[in-house]
Amino acid sequence: MDCVERQDQILLYASNALDEAEAEELRAHLATGCAKCNAALREAKDFAGDLLGSLTPVTPSVGLKHQLMQSVLRDLVTPAKRSTDVERLRMIGYVAAASIGFILGMLIMYSRLTPSQDYQDRMQQLEVALADSRMSNQELQQMLGSSQTKLVSMGSAPDQPGGRALWDQEKRKWHQYIFNLKPPANGRTYELWFIPAGGKPIRAGIFDTDAKGAGVLVADLPADLRDLAVVAITDEPAGGSDQPTTTPFLVAKLQ
């Protein structure tokens, strides 16, 4: 088959409509660096792209961009090492295994050092820590190893919205995890509040939940915030509010 005859084949290849045997043969030819066929492949891919791009656009939900940017910003803070997919999977496996081992070890130590801590709390700590897969191993170890890290629960009824948080008092960080909370309505978002004793609510951040009802928010406690008494979550207009406009539906009392 010469390059002229391959043009139709290239079109089908770019559209994922070529049999694997023919595709393999074509890939072998393209790998030789044939300029004509590689140029044709680029054009064919752009053709396929144009077809896909011709569908009527659908505006994403309001909170989706915010959710994405939270992930991006979190990645900027604790960047993942760039590597091949195979290396990354292997690394994730090693880190996961090491993390699980370390966490279990720390929990066993906790059980000996803090005999008043019950099994349920320790399992919750494990669940919360493992849920935040974006936290680096080192960060996780430091937080769990600190006696100033507290576990905070919100809501307790099964299958009802609930939350758990890791309060890193040393670094003044609040790691909030939400479960069973359906995504906010269009034009709405969820907002977390820090409420000092006798004071007004302070904005901690906004977040959305995914289709599974899970949400994550990592917030810094303001430097001048003392005597944190209550943490609450409300339903607010998109972008959040300066003060709560609805009654909190999840509350944790810390004092």
Partner 1 sequence: MTIPAANDQMTLDQQDDIRLIQRLAARDSNAMTQLYDRYASRMLAIAIRVLNDRAVAEELLCDVFFEIWQKADRFDSSRGSVSTYLFMLTRSRSIDRKRSSGKMKLTSLEAASFDTPASGYTPASAVVASEQASEIKKAMRVLEPAQRQCIECSFFDGLSHSEIAEKLNKPLGTVKTTIRNGLIRLRDALRPMR
Residues contributing to the site for partner 1 (CB under 8 A): 8, 11-12, 15-17, 19, 38, 41-61, 64-65, 67-69, 71-73, 75-76, 79-80, 82, 183, 210-211
Nearest Cα neighbor of 162 from 128, 199, 115 is 128
Nearer to partner 1, 12 or 126 (CB): 12
Question: Tokens 């269009």 appear where?
Answer: 186
Question: Tokens 């999840």 appear where?
Answer: 250
CB of 174 to partner 1, least distance (A): 22
CB of 250 to partner 1, least distance (A): 22
Nearer to partner 1, 41 or 221 (CB): 41
CB of 171 to partner 1, least distance (A): 22
Q: Is-contact 151 166, C-beta < 8 A? A: yes
- Helices 85-113 and 119-131 cross at an angle (nearest 10°) of 160
CB of 183 to partner 1, least distance (A): 7
CB of 159 to partner 1, least distance (A): 18
Nearer to partner 1, 109 or 214 (CB): 214
Nearer to partner 1, 33 or 158 (CB): 33
Nearer to partner 1, 56 or 138 (CB): 56
Nearer to partner 1, 47 or 246 (CB): 47
CB of 220 to partner 1, least distance (A): 18
Nearer to partner 1, 63 or 163 (CB): 63
Nearest Cα neighbor of 192 from 225, 163, 223 is 163
CB of 228 to partner 1, least distance (A): 29
